[in-house]
Structure formats: C-alpha cells, structure tokens
C-alpha cells in the first residue's frame, strides 16, 4: 500500500509558479496563522500562569538570542490593530491558539475569567471584521504546574485534564469558532521537547519522547470526544509533515528515508487514521516504545472533520560519508530549510491515496527570510517566490485529487521563533520589537493582491 519514497534523482522539476487564486475553488479559504506564546506577550498579566516555555526561556543558553515571550508582539494589547491588518489583507480566516495557562493557570482547577475575556474580545473583533476564527488548543505552552506536578505530557494523568480544558473551550467558544484543532505538531512537542531538548521542557530521553507522543495522541482522542458533547464545530488535529527523500538511489538511503518517514509522518498518521502504530517504528524503538493500554488506539482513532497539514520543506537522508546534501536548486530559507515545493504536491497526493483523510487544510506554510527594512519597506522577494511556488504546488496536488479546502500562511506577524528567539522572521508583516510598529512587507501586498484575484463565489456571479 505504501508508495516507495522517491529518490533525489527521480524528483520532478519545480513547478512553474503561474497560479492565481481564481485557479482555486471559490469556496477555498485564504488565511494566515499565529500561536499564543509566539505573539501574545502579557505573560504575567491578568492571571496567566507560567508555561514551560517561560521557564525554558529563563534557562541560560536555551534561546539563541537570549530572549523570551514576556512581550513578544504585544498582541494581547494590540489585537485590534492586528485584526485590522488581517482585514486589509483580505483574509477569510485566521488561525490562532489558546494559551492553556491563560485560561487555566494551573492546568487544572480554577478557570481564569480574565483569560476567557481576552479571547472573547478577540473573537468579537474577528467576527466583526468578517474573518473566521480557527483555533488550536495546544501550541506548546503547557502550564508549568502540570510539568512540576507529574512531568506534564510524560504522565497519563494529563489526558483527562486536557480533555477537560478542551471541553471548557468548546462549551464557551464553540459556536463562534470555525474549527478547533487539538494539537499543533505533536512530533515537535515530543521529539524536540523530550528527545533532543531543543524545545521546552528540554529533556533528552527517547523513551520519554515516545511516551509523550502517545499521551499527546491519546489526549487528542479524548479531547475530541469531550468536545463533541459541547459543540458542532469541525474538529481535527494539525500535523507537521516533512517528506523524507533518499539522497542516492541506494538501499541504505532508501531505508533511512523510510524510517524517517515512519518517525515523523506515519507515527502520527497511522494511529489517528488507522488505529495502530507502524510496526517498523515500533521495532526501531524496541524497549523505548510507549506503554499503550487497552482501548487507547480506538480512542485515538476518533472520527475527525479535518486534517491540518503544516508543510515547510523536505528531509534528504544520506548514509554516505561525507553525506550527500540536499541540492537546494530553489535555495534555502533563513532557517536553513531547503525550498522544495514539489514535495508538497507529492505528499498531498500520497496522503489522499494512502489514508483517505478528511478534508485537508494547509494550516502552516511559509519561510523565514533575512528581511531588512530599507526606507520603511521590506522587499522580501524570496518570500513572494516561496508563496508562488507553494501555491502552484498546492493547486497541482488538488488537480491530482487532494481534497484541500484552505491555506494559512505562517505567519501573519514576525514573532518569537522558539529556540531561535526573534532572530528569524516568518511574517507577512514586519514587527519592530522596540516600537511594536507593524509594517506590511512586499509579500503582504502580494498575498493581498493574490487573494483579491479569487473566483467570485457562485452567488455573486
Ligand atoms: O513557528 C513555528 C510554529 O510555531 C510551528 N510550526 C513551524 C513554525 C516555524 O518554525
């Protein structure tokens, strides 16, 4: 059933970036995305509790520029201006995340009404502007108290607490949300947070990471079930997919690519859509494989209304010494990630063929660029090219049968890029962190014009 992983030699040439919004269905949703910890700031205001990322930032050497999330883009106070920017862009939709520690400072027990009031105001502002709010419950800012109490995601105790939090959000906001995703990129949470220590909470244990991934998935299943009792809004999960390619058409590289695919794509897709973990990855993990209780896999395979796919780049696997590197024919982003849009087409077609998923949203896609403000303008041509190429790749995937309903550029604003701090800029809108001044980059103007060229909805013809 599984398709062979393509090799570098077999990779098709980049698509000609000639697509327009009119090439997409009239109902297609155009948006942009952010997350709470990366933009809100106000970390110690109005009763918000500390998160594991506040803690991580305070540990020397964890964040490359020594920064933290205390102020970020001050979106907590400047959200009306940010919604005006979204309106100016012509966005249909905005993807954001709730900060669990703002809504429930200890991660259990008392709710923080001031936190709910903030999101209440944000939703009002968005809806008044005609922008559909798409929410994520967990974008990495775990209440620190849960980590202190029982190790956070390492313990099964977190599963019912996350489901309670999900149900409360769904009960209070479900009728005003266009969708709710449980988790954003559980691979990053588990692997970067508990195996490589690049992310909070900074643990280095493969066994812990595997167990965390299981608890994330289990909490997803239980949260969806809890939310179904409270709301009819579409529910799903957001996974980050970085397709794996062998560097050379040799068996060793193919096997390396297959395992890499197992670890980042199939480890999450198989439980969510097939109710099992991939056997080859279980064998690879051996004694580090997670403990799974009876009924867990059925709970994880809960029916979903959508799948969010975050796509940025691909991984090239080489077993040679020195390793064969990615050719980077279209260049690399400021994160050092290869620009390889054709993998988006291939991957979406593969997902459709192998998993028959529910409708897909590209919930993140974008690039960090070494942007410079010159005479009040940011001429970020590489980002425009990236957008053009990826939208062309997306359109091609849809023509080949992928059921994709919307696209969210990451990110609306320059923001806190986790362990890279503020040094990496992903935004359509430049943020001067000293003055908090927002300036739409050339890419923002490009995306605005692109969206304006959409097909008229059927009723308007
Ligand atoms: O900034 C992140 C985001 O929080 C999750 N997906 C990837 C982005 C870029 O690294």
CATH number at 100 reads 3.20.20.80
pLDDT at 5 over 70: no
Above 50 in pLDDT, residue 7? no
Q: Is the CB of 417 under 6 A from ligand 1?
A: yes
| Domain total of the chain | 1
Asked if the structure places residue 1 within a domain, the reply is no
The finding on whether 414 has its CB within 6 A of some atom of ligand 1 is no
What does residue 154 show for φ and ψ, rounded to 5 degrees? -70, -20
Residue 269 lies in a domain: yes
458: confidence class by pLDDT, cuts 50, 70, 90: low
For the stretch 63-92, what's the b/e string if a residue is b when 16 or more beta carbons lie within 10 angstroms of its beta carbon?
A: beeebbbebbbbbbebbeebbebbeebbbb
Q: Is the CB of 125 under 6 A from ligand 1?
A: no
- C-alpha triplet 252, 257, 262: angle, nearest 5°: 125
User: pLDDT at residue 57 above 70?
Assistant: yes
Whether the CB of 369 sits within 6 Å of ligand 1: no
Q: Is residue 138 part of a domain?
A: yes
Write the CB contacts of 251 (distance below 8 Å, at least 6 apart in sequence): none
User: How far away, in angstroms, is 308 Cα from ligand 1 center?
Assistant: 13
> Using CA positions, which residue lies closest to atom 2 of ligand 1?
417
| Probe target for ligand 1 pocket from 185, 198, 365, with the most ligand atoms within 8 Å of CB | 185
Residue 431 has pLDDT above 60, yes or no: yes
Contact 442, 374 (CB under 8 A): no
Q: Give me the mean pLDDT over the 179-207 stretch.
A: 98
pLDDT above 90 covers what percent of the chain?
95
426 CA to centre of ligand 1 in angstroms: 9
Report whether residue 270 contacts ligand 1, using a CB cutoff of 6 Å: no
C-alpha distances out from residue 190 to 187, 197, 212, 361, 416, Å: 5, 10, 6, 23, 20
| 417/431 Cα distance (integer angstroms) | 13
Nearest to 439 by CA among 67, 81, 122: 81
Taking only the tens place, the pLDDT of each residue in 254-267 is 999 999 999 999 99
Question: How far apart, in whole angstroms, are the C-alpha atoms of residue 58 and residue 42?
Answer: 16
Does residue 461 belong to any structural domain of this protein? Answer: no
What does the pLDDT read at residue 457?
64
Does the CB atom of residue 333 touch ligand 1 within 6 A?
no
* 312 CA to centre of ligand 1 in angstroms: 9
pLDDT greater than 90 at residue 298: yes
Answer whether 195 contacts ligand 1 (Cβ < 6 A). Answer: no
- pLDDT band at 13, cuts 50/70/90? very low
CA of 293 to the centre of ligand 1 (A): 31
Look at residue 69 and tell me whether its pLDDT is greater than 70. Answer: yes
The larger pLDDT score, comparing residue 439 to residue 10, is at 439
* 234 lies in some domain: yes
What pLDDT is attached to residue 6?
39
Q: Considering only CA atoms, which residue is closest to atom 4 of ligand 1?
A: 35
- Percentage of the chain lying above the pLDDT 70 cut: 95
Residues 170-177 have a mean pLDDT of 98
How confident is the model over 311-368, as pLDDT tens digits? 999 999 999 999 999 999 999 999 999 999 999 999 999 999 999 999 999 999 999 9
Instruction: Indicate which residues carry an active-site annotation.
Output: 185, 364
Say if residue 16's pLDDT is above 90. Answer: no
Average pLDDT value for the chain? 95
For the residues 376-388, what does the mean pLDDT come to?
Answer: 98
Return all residues near 375 (Cβ < 8 A) that are at least 6 apart.
none
Q: CB–CB of 236/181 below 8 Å?
A: yes
Is the pLDDT assigned to residue 8 strictly greater than 90? no
- Is 225 among the domain residues? yes
pLDDT > 60? residue 88: yes
Contact (CB, 8 A) for 316 and 326:
yes
Within 255-329, strands assigned E span: 306-310, 315-317
The answer to whether residue 359 is domain-embedded is yes
The 3-state DSSP class for residue 392 equals: helix
Residue 1 confidence (pLDDT) above 90: no
* pLDDT band of 17, cuts 50, 70, 90: low
Would 124 be classed as within a structural domain? yes
Atom 1 in ligand 1: residue holding the nearest Cα? 417
pLDDT at residue 2 is higher than 70: no
Using only C-alpha atoms, what is the Rg of the chain?
21
| 240 CA to centre of ligand 1 in angstroms | 9
**CA–CA dist 363, 182 (Å, integer):** 13
Residue 104, pLDDT > 60, answer yes
Domain that residue 394 falls in: 23-452
Predicted local distance difference test score (pLDDT) of residue 18: 83
């Amino acid at each position: 059933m599984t398709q062979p992983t393509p090799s570098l030699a077999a990779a098709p040439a980049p698509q000609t970036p000639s697509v327009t919004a009119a090439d997409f269905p009239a109902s297609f949703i155009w948006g942009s995305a952010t997350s709470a910890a990366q933009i809100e700031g106000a970390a110690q205001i109005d009763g918000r509790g500390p998160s594991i990322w506040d803690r991580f930032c305070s540990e020397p050497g964890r964040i490359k520029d020594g920064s933290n999330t205390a102020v970020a883009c001050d979106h907590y106070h400047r959200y009306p201006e940010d919604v005006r920017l979204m309106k100016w862009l012509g966005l249909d939709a905005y993807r954001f995340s709730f900060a669990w520690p703002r809504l429930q400072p200890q991660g259990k027990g008392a709710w923080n009404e001031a936190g709910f009031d903030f999101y209440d105001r944000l939703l009002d502002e968005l809806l008044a502007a005609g922008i559909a709010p798409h929410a994520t419950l967990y974008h990495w800012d775990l209440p620190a108290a849960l980590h202190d109490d029982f190790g956070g995601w390492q313990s099964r105790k977190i599963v019912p607490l996350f489901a309670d939090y999900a149900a409360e959000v769904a009960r209070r906001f479900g009728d005003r949300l266009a969708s709710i995703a449980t988790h954003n990129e559980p691979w990053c949470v588990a692997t970067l947070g508990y195996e490589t220590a690049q992310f909070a909470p900074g643990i280095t244990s493969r066994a812990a990471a595997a167990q965390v991934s299981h608890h994330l998935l289990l909490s997803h299943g239980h949260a969806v079930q809890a939310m179904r009792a409270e709301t009819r809004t579409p529910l799903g999960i957001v996974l980050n997919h970085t397709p794996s390619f062998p560097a050379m058409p040799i068996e060793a590289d193919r096997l390396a690519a297959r395992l890499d695919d197992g670890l980042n794509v199939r480890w999450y897709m198989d439980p969510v859509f097939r109710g099992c973990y991939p056997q080859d990855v279980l064998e690879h993990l051996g004694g580090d494989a997670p403990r799974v209780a009876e009924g867990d896999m059925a709970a994880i395979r809960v029916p979903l209304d959508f799948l969010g796919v975050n796509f940025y780049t691909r991984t090239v696997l080489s077993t040679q010494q020195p390793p064969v590197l990615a050719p980077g024919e279209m260049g690399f982003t400021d994160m050092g990630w290869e620009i390889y849009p054709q993998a988006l087409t291939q991957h979406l077609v593969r997902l459709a063929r192998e998993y028959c998923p529910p409708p897909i949203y590209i919930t993140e896609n974008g690039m960090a660029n070494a942007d410079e403000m010159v005479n009040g303008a940011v001429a970020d041509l590489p980002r425009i090219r990236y957008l053009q190429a990826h939208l062309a790749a997306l359109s091609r995937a849809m023509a080949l049968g992928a059921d994709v309903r919307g696209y969210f550029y990451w990110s609306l604003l320059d923001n806190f890029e986790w362990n890279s701090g503020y040094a990496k800029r992903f935004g359509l809108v430049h943020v001067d962190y000293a003055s908090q001044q927002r300036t739409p980059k050339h890419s923002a103007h490009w995306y605005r014009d692109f969206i304006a060229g959409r097909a008229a909805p059927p009723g308007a013809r």
